[in-house]
């Protein structure tokens, strides 16, 4: 690993994450400014730690000279949505953007993992401008509902404790929790229009309170 200057190696990935977070947050803002439902609720991002990269290199037998092309999630973006339908809307938005290129998709919603994990993964190629010119970075975008994200966060925390080898009872409870989480998403989708109408009402009401008319004054 000494051949890789890690601080220098990770700079473009950090730049990519910072730029993508701004772009997706601005996209959410654009929907809201136009008084439209935003399929994006929250945007977060991270760059893998050096220890995490090294561990995955060992586990996946990734060679140093193939690291940039074989490890697709060094730069990671997570987009949280209110509804399952929003996830697919976000995926469509990624396809029509001209500042990135979708190169791979994995739908773990229609085809959940045995553990119960659900999410939609999109790998993009994203160009950044560096001091030495343009560099194309691979980044993974995970798109999921708030409920899916809650389950995934808990499962990830438990994974640190058990290193993936969950006791049978914990494993079964996680699976049941994943199904309950997805049932919640399905129920919310059934009353989606009612929820959006209510949210719009509160948004309009807040705007009216913040901008009173002359009569109200």
CA 157, CA 170: separation in Å to the nearest integer? Answer: 13
Q: 214 pLDDT exceeds 60?
A: no
Ordered by where they begin, the domains of the chain are 4-201 (3.30.460.10)
Cβ contacts of 41 within 8 Å, gap of 6 or more = 28, 80, 81, 82, 86, 146
Kindly report the length of the chain.
217
More confident residue, 192 or 62: 62
Pairing relationship of beta strands 133-145 and 75-81 according to DSSP bridges: parallel
Please pick, among 19, 55, 140, 169, the residue that the annotation labels catalytic: 140
**Is 64 marked active-site?**
no
Average pLDDT over residues 80-104: 97
Tens digit of pLDDT for each residue in 42-81? 999 999 999 999 999 999 999 999 999 999 999 999 999 9
Short-list 91, 72, 80, CA closest to 153: 80
pLDDT surpasses 70 at 2: no
User: Residue 158: which residues within 8 A CB-CB, separation 6 or more?
Assistant: 166, 170, 174
pLDDT of residue 67: 96
Q: How far apart are CA 206 and CA 74, in angstroms?
A: 40
pLDDT digits (tens, 9 = 90+) for 117-153: 999 999 999 999 999 899 999 999 999 999 999 999 9
Least confident of 31-45, 103-117, 165-179: 165-179
- Judge whether residue 83 has pLDDT over 90: yes
């Amino acid at each position: 690993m000494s051949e890789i200057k890690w601080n220098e190696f990770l700079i473009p990935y950090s730049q990519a994450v910072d730029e993508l977070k701004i772009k997706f947050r601005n996209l959410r803002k654009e929907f809201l400014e136009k008084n439209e439902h935003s399929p994006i609720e929250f945007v977060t991002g991270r760059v893998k730690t050096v220890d995490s990269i090294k561990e995955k290199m060992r586990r996946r037998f990734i060679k140093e000279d193939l690291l940039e092309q074989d490890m697709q999630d060094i730069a990671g973006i997570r987009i949280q949505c209110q509804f399952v339908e929003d996830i697919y809307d976000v995926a469509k938005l990624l396809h029509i953007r001209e500042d990135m290129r979708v190169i791979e998709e994995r739908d773990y919603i229609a085809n959940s993992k045995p553990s119960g994990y659900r999410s939609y993964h999109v790998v993009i190629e994203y160009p950044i401008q560096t001091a030495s010119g343009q560099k194309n970075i691979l980044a993974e975008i995970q798109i999921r509902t708030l409920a899916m994200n809650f389950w995934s966060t808990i499962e990830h925390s438990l994974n640190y404790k058990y290193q993936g080898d969950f006791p049978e009872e914990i494993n079964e409870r996680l699976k049941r929790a994943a199904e309950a989480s997805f049932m919640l998403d399905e129920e919310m989708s059934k009353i989606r229009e009612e929820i959006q109408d209510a949210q719009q009402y509160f948004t309009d009401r807040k705007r009216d309170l913040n901008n009173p008319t002359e009569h109200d004054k």
